[in-house]
Amino acid sequence: MISSLECIGLDESRLVKLFATDFLADSDAAAALNLLVNKALNDGFSFDIASAYRSFSRQCAIFDAKWNGLRPVLDEREQPIDISNLSAAEKVAVICRFSAIPCFSRHHFGTDFDIYSKSLLPVGEKLKLTAYEYEKDSYFYPLGLWLTENLNSFGFIRPYSGKNMGYEPWHISYEEKAQKYLNAFSFDAAVAVLLKTSYPWAKPCVDFAKNNYKKMLGIIC
């Protein structure tokens, strides 16, 4: 049985190393991803991982860096915006367009991966994980088409369509196992953990999550 601590990135005891990397993942998701990677290689391009499981502390570090202007925050057009003059509630809302609140990220499950293809990334180009990389005539456009054709056959979906949260064509999820984590997820347990922290954004994040946590978790997509 999956515990509430596993759902919010506080228990890594059942995760496994992902291939020959330092990434961690749910074992069932890792096995399915391996098949997907091999299919991509057979079809002529690499299938690489930018992010897999993220702990609660790692997600806190990401969110805190954006809150404090140490990481860029993007608007709906994926352009950097200045959030320094926004209210706490406004800051949370714009950060959550592309970054989930700690305790409310599918990356805590170990079933979700941010992917790209090194073989398609132009020499000297830095990976950005933005939707424009997947637009027609851009370098990951062939990868996007391939994902549309192959993901479902291996049990994967793309949970962020852009209807409610930011469009993330690079984010894939092993659906069957992710659903088990979603079924075990406890909103009250997540809130309790978040409010025990000393982060200034914890309370406004809880206020935002009350009406939006299902969107962040890809339940409403």
Residue 177 lies in a domain: yes
CATH number at residue 106: 3.30.1380.10
Residue 130 lies in a domain: yes
Torsion sign over Cα 104, 56, 191, 89: negative
Torsion from C-alpha of 50, 44, 176, 213, nearest 10 degrees: 40
Give pLDDT tens digits for 155-214.
999 999 877 678 999 999 999 999 999 999 999 999 999 999 999 999 999 999 999 999
Owning domain of residue 130 = 4-216
Residue 221 lies in a domain: no
Helix 175-184 and helix 27-42: axis angle, to 10°? Answer: 160
Query: What pLDDT does residue 164 have?
Result: 65
Residue 15 lies in a domain: yes
Residue 173 lies in a domain: yes
Query: What pLDDT does residue 173 have?
Result: 98
Query: What pLDDT does residue 161 have?
Result: 83
Residue 170 lies in a domain: yes
Q: What pTM does this model have? A: 0.95
Query: What pLDDT does residue 31 have?
Result: 97
Total domains present in the chain: 1
Residue 27 lies in a domain: yes
Residues of the chain with pLDDT under 50: none
Instruction: List Cα–Cα distances, 61 to 34, 66, 68, in angstroms.
Output: 29, 9, 11
Helix 187-195 and helix 202-216: axis angle, to 10°? Answer: 150
Query: What pLDDT does residue 166 have?
Result: 84
